[in-house]
A and B are shown apart, each in its own frame.
Chain A
Amino acid sequence: MRKIYLDNAATTALSPKVLEAMMPYLTTVYGNPSSVHAFGQEAKKGLDAARDQVAAALNCTPGEVIFTGCGTESDNTAILGVAEKYKNKGKHIITSSVEHHAVLHTCEHLQKQGYDVTYLPVDEYGRVTAEQVREALREDTILVTIMFANNEVGTIMPIPEIAAVCHEKSVLFHTDAVQAIGHVPVDVKAMDIDMLSLSAHKFHGPKGVGALYCRKGIKLPSYIMGGAQEKGRRAGTENVAGIVGLGAAIKLACDNLSENAAKMAILRDRLMRGLAEIPEVKLNGHPTERLPNNVNYSMKYIEGESILLKLDLSGIAASSGSACTSGSLDPSHVLLAMGLPHEIAHGSVRLTLGDDTTQEDIDYTIEQLKEIVAYLRAMSPLYKG
């Protein structure tokens, strides 16, 4: 049976080239980078090279890159760090209602500690505007954190405009760019971003490693306490092989970004056109301002998890925002924030393309989904044909 992986927003396959770059650090180069001897210093070289690669990809200096354990840790470090550091200046944070839980749950935690959080509503496409941020800014606002691109619906936020509004009032701006890196151009200097989170496994790097870009001059307390690794900004012996993998992966992804993104967008559009042929479906997310690898449709009158199970039987891996896949009775907070009624949110399917996705994969997926939707609708008491 064909196997088609269309869940690249969940995680991606490790690139063979990345694995090759990592291998020495999983085998012969085992020294601790903090050690003074040759074993340690050789590992340190790997770390330094990876830091240079991340800095080149983001257009920052190597000293502004902090390696972490994952995207979630990067988000936690930035938000909790700013909250702690600037609590005497103010206790107000602005975010959006469609953030990843790594941001939302961290903000909710801070609310319990006496912080005030504004969750900006989004439009039908899942976007917030710079104007909304401007109106929400207060004297006591210490941080604005808005994601670069949404993980569920792929909508890209107007990041440079939002950053500019924040800086008019000298408020720090953080962005969770976990889904954006490797798919859309990200330049922290040109976009005037103060802090940015990323995760290696979203762009064909290994799991268990992320990074936080933190603009020079912003001194955040270490989220993990211990040794002086990462210049005292993140304690714990470095995941050297993982970090080397992150460096190799971000270089590969960003070196070929425009070419890959253009190729992927053609396939994405083909998939969107194919699914739009199914009656009574709804595209979720922005029609054009969206990640080149993201397709998200709601199939009315049927439920997402049963679509996923049927797709899985056809060898296709996808994801859904239905309650049954969220572990609660409510469907995706992103789709609800975009104004979708519950029953339509339950029927959402997310298909996220990867570097290896082919046109044949797309055509097969369209054909299978058409059949699956017709089959499930035939058994749905809501569908009147």
Chain B
Amino acid sequence: MYTEKVLDHFNNPRNLGEIEGANGIGMVGNAKCGDIMQMFIKVNDDGIIEDVGFKTFGCGAAIATSSMATEMIKGKKVEDALKLSNSAVVEALEGLPPQKIHCSVLAEEAVKAAVEDYEKRKAEKQA
């Protein structure tokens, strides 16, 4: 059902949990559908995502896609993180069952929500 890569990220999630000094936090999904993802990012003055963490309520694919998404944006510029697509996450996981593709969409949305929160906070600070 799941690829080895998915199972690896499910069993050994990368960047799990809240992080110290997060300046962007996004939460997407809803409990009714069975998936909620929360993404924490810490962006430095150069606009680079220095640290990232996640918390997820959901199935194996939801946990694995969150984990993979954090790996893919860590150390990247904020504008590059925004370019992360769900299909890139699926590809990096070497595939997902068709009914689980929505989990990868959620991961993409979680990254975007965290970045949006960061941008909002930054704008507020500058104002």
Give A contacts to B, CB under 8 Å. 301-306, 309, 313, 322-324, 327, 329, 331, 341-343, 346, 378-383
Contact = CB atoms under 8 A, between A and B. Distances in A.
In terms of DSSP, what is the predominant structure of the interface of chain A?
loop
Contacts of A379: 13, 16-17, 55-56, 63
Contacts of A309: 7, 10, 60
A327 B38 CA distance: 24
B123 interface: no
Q: What range describes how many residues of B lie at the interface?
A: 20 to 34
B127 interface: no
Contacts of B61: 324
A313 B11 contact: yes
B62 A303 contact: yes
A304 to B, nearest CB: 8
B58 A303 contact: yes
Contacts, number: 67
B59 interface: yes
Contact of B59 (A306, A313, A342): A306
A301 B31 CA distance: 9
A323 B34 CA distance: 7
Contact of A302 (B10, B16, B17, B57): B57
A306 B34 contact: no
Contacts of A331: 34
Given A305-B60, A306-B60, A381-B57, A346 B34 contact: yes
A378 B13 CA distance: 12
Given A305-B59, A343-B32, 8 more contacts: A306-B62, A309-B10, A329-B33, A329-B34, A346-B31, A346-B34, A381-B37, A381-B55
A303 B57 contact: yes
Interface centre among A304, A322, A323, A378 (most CB of B within 10 A): A323
Nearest to A344: B31
Contacts of A306: 10, 58-60, 62-63
B3 to A, nearest CB: 13
A301 B56 CA distance: 10
